[in-house]
Amino acid sequence: MFISQALAATEEATNGAPDVFPPFDPASFASQLLWLTITFGAFYFIMSRVIIPRISGILEVRSDRITRDLDETQRLKAEADAAHAAYEHELAEAKKNAHGIAMESTEKAKADSAKVREKVEAELASNLAEAEARIASIKAKAMAEVGTIANETTGEIVKDLIGGKLTNAEITKAVSSLVK
């Protein structure tokens, strides 16, 4: 019922004219063409006078910048190639000079080292004998103190870990059982 009332109200509003979509109504074609021409002309004017010149200016500036950057890159590449060639030449010269110096130094060092080696070997033999004697005495002394150090370390570890305190006899007994 509601739908039929809506249809009746629509027919009254259109005065009984047939329902035609307004853009397809032949009576409005002339005004549609006029407004299409005005709108297209306005958009064409805005595009040709404002937007396209701005875009072409931006593209021209970018093109110039790219061209300058490419030219600068080529110039810097040429400089880098020249510097690399000079570096390679200097490096080859330096290697040749270094080889000569190294050979000369090697011969001199061999002669000097032969003289010094004999003297050093005699000193080393006496120093070695003294060092072995000192090492033996230090080792004996250290081995005598290992038990004391182990007991003290164990006591400190137990104190830090569990917060308790053990007697020296308990610590000695624990360390002795681990060493065996």
Kindly compute the dihedral angle of the four CA atoms of residues 162, 164, 168, 171, in this order, to the nearest 10 degrees. Answer: -20
Across the chain, what does the average pLDDT equal? 83
The continuous run of DSSP H or E covering 25 comes out as: none
**pLDDT score for 19:** 75
**pLDDT score for 154:** 75
Domain assignment of residue 54, yes or no = yes
- Percentage of the chain with pLDDT > 70? 87
Domain assignment of residue 13, yes or no = no
Q: Which has the higher per-residue pLDDT, 12 or 151?
A: 151
Considering the entire predicted model, what is its pTM? 0.35
Range of lowest pLDDT (73-82, 109-118, 138-147)? 138-147
Q: What is the domain count for the chain?
A: 1
Domain assignment of residue 57, yes or no = yes
Give tens-digit pLDDT for 62-93: 999 999 999 999 999 999 999 999 999 999 99
pLDDT at 25 over 60: yes
Domain assignment of residue 71, yes or no = yes
pLDDT at 17 over 90: no
Q: At what angle do helices 168-179 and 52-162 cross, to 10 degrees?
A: 110
Domain assignment of residue 145, yes or no = yes
> Which domain, by its residues, includes 106?
34-179
Domain assignment of residue 25, yes or no = no
In 3D space, the residue among 142, 169, 144 whose CA is nearest the CA of residue 154 turns out to be 169
Domain assignment of residue 103, yes or no = yes
**pLDDT score for 88:** 93
